C-alpha cells in the first residue's frame, strides 16, 4: 500500500515536555484523515513537523515515501499545503480576489480553475462580499480554497494544471 504520510516513532519535545511521544501513523493515498484530540495533544505540532516548520526531536516521517532526512523532502513539500491554526486571507478582498492573489503568489496562471475551486468549497456565489464580512465557516472554506491553489495535484479536475 502507498502512503502519502507515514510517521515512525515521531517525537517532539519542548524543554522537558513531550508533545509527541513515539507517534506512529500511516495515511494511505486517496484517504481523508482527521486529527482529533484534546488541547495540547500534539495535532498542530504534527502538522508543523510535516510542513517543515519545526524539526522532530526523534523518529522520522515520510511524505510520498520520501523521508524527512532526505534533502528531496523540500521538493516533495511543494505538492502539499496546510492551514495551521487559522487561514491567512486578505479581509479587504473578495473570495475571488483572494484566490487570484494566491495564484500569483504560487506562480500559476489564473484560469477557470479559480471558479472551480470556489465552487468546490461552496464560495462561488459570494460575489463582491469582502472576506471580512464572511462567517467563520466561510473564512475557513476560503482558507481551504487557498490551500488547494498551492496544491493543485490534489484537485480532481478535467485537465491537469500546467505549472510551467
Q: What is the pLDDT of residue 105?
A: 82
* Sheet containing 17-28, strands listed edge to edge, beginning at the edge strand earlier in sequence: 17-28, 3-14, 58-63, 66-67
Burial of 44 (0-12, 13-18, 19+ CB in 10 A): middle
Retrieve residue 133's grid coordinates.
464580512
Q: 160 pLDDT exceeds 70?
A: no
- Rounded Cα distance between 134 and 109, Å, is 26
Do the Cβ atoms of 106 and 149 come closer than 8 Å? yes
pLDDT tens per residue across span 51-100: 998 999 999 999 999 999 999 999 888 778 777 777 889 999 999 999 99
Cα 39–Cα 41–Cα 47 angle in degrees, nearest 5: 100
Cβ atoms of 159 and 116 within 8 Å: the answer is no
Nearest by Cα to 25 from 39, 43, 40: 43
What is the predicted pLDDT for the residue at 152? Answer: 54
The three cell numbers of residue 14 are 519542548
**Global pTM value:** 0.68
Tell me what pLDDT residue 157 has. 47
What pLDDT, on the 0 to 100 scale, is given for residue 111? Answer: 74
Q: Kindly provide the residue ranges of all beta strands, DSSP E only, lying in the chain, ordered along the sequence.
A: 3-14, 17-28, 58-63, 66-67
What are the tens digits of pLDDT across the range 125-146? 999 999 999 998 899 999 989 8
Amino acid at each position: 500500500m502507498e502512503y502519502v504520510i507515514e510517521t515512525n516513532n515521531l517525537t517532539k519535545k519542548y524543554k522537558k515536555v513531550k508533545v509527541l511521544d513515539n507517534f506512529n501513523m500511516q495515511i494511505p493515498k486517496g484517504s481523508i484523515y482527521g486529527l482529533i484530540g484534546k488541547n495540547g495533544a500534539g495535532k498542530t505540532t504534527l502538522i508543523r513537523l510535516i510542513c517543515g516548520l519545526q524539526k522532530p526531536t526523534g523518529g522520522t516521517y515520510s511524505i510520498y515515501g520520501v523521508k524527512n532526512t532526505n534533502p528531496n523532502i523540500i521538493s516533495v513539500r511543494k505538492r502539499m499545503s496546510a492551514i495551521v491554526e487559522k487561514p491567512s486571507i486578505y479581509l479587504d478582498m473578495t473570495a475571488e480576489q483572494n484566490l487570484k492573489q494566491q495564484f500569483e503568489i504560487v506562480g500559476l496562471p489564473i484560469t477557470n480553475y479559480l471558479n472551480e475551486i470556489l465552487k468546490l468549497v461552496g464560495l462561488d456565489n459570494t460575489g463582491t462580499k469582502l472576506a471580512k464580512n464572511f462567517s467563520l465557516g466561510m473564512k475557513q472554506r476560503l482558507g481551504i480554497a487557498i490551500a488547494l491553489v498551492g496544491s493543485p495535484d490534489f484537485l480532481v479536475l478535467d485537465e491537469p494544471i500546467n505549472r510551467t
